[in-house]
Amino acid sequence: MFKTHTRKHGFTLIELLVVVAIIGVLMSITLVILSDARSKSRDSRRFEDFQQIKNALELFSADQNGLYPSGSDLSLLVDGGYIQMLPVDPLNTGSYAYTYQGTDYSGTGCGSGLCTSYVLRVILESLDQEALDVDIDGTFADTDCNDPAFCIIP
């Protein structure tokens, strides 16, 4: 009699393992790319918040004959209606906080009254931001402005 071979339909174990390995490699590449995109997105938000604080400081200065708040407290901006609320870092961890220090013309902190200048700083996650090439670096009024800190002085 004739033997009929019945063919089983499906995949072999090796074929399934190869497919799973390929999917795993693609997922790991995707996660790395997304992680970088997320940190850059948070840095973009930090730049927007930074600009809002800077604009509020300039509005305050315009009303105060060119002077800025003293110390490191920015609550005067909220109390005076220059900004609706102080921005909170996108991570909410405290390690990427926005910092402000009122200074005098010599660059030292001024503790009382109004100040003639200031240092505004935000810490960025990504070191490959082009903005880090054009900001100030060093220490001003006891504020560390070395990268990854983005600082400005008006």
pLDDT digits (tens, 9 = 90+) for 72-115: 888 889 999 999 998 888 887 766 678 899 888 777 888 777 88
Q: What is the mean pLDDT of residues 25-48?
A: 88
pTM: 0.74
CB 119 within 8 A of CB 154: no
Please provide residue 58's backbone torsions phi and psi, each rounded to the nearest 5 degrees.
-70, -35
CB 122 within 8 A of CB 46: yes
Cβ burial, residue 103 (10 Å; 0-12/13-18/19+): buried
Cβ burial, residue 84 (10 Å; 0-12/13-18/19+): exposed
Pick the more confident residue, 134 or 116.
116
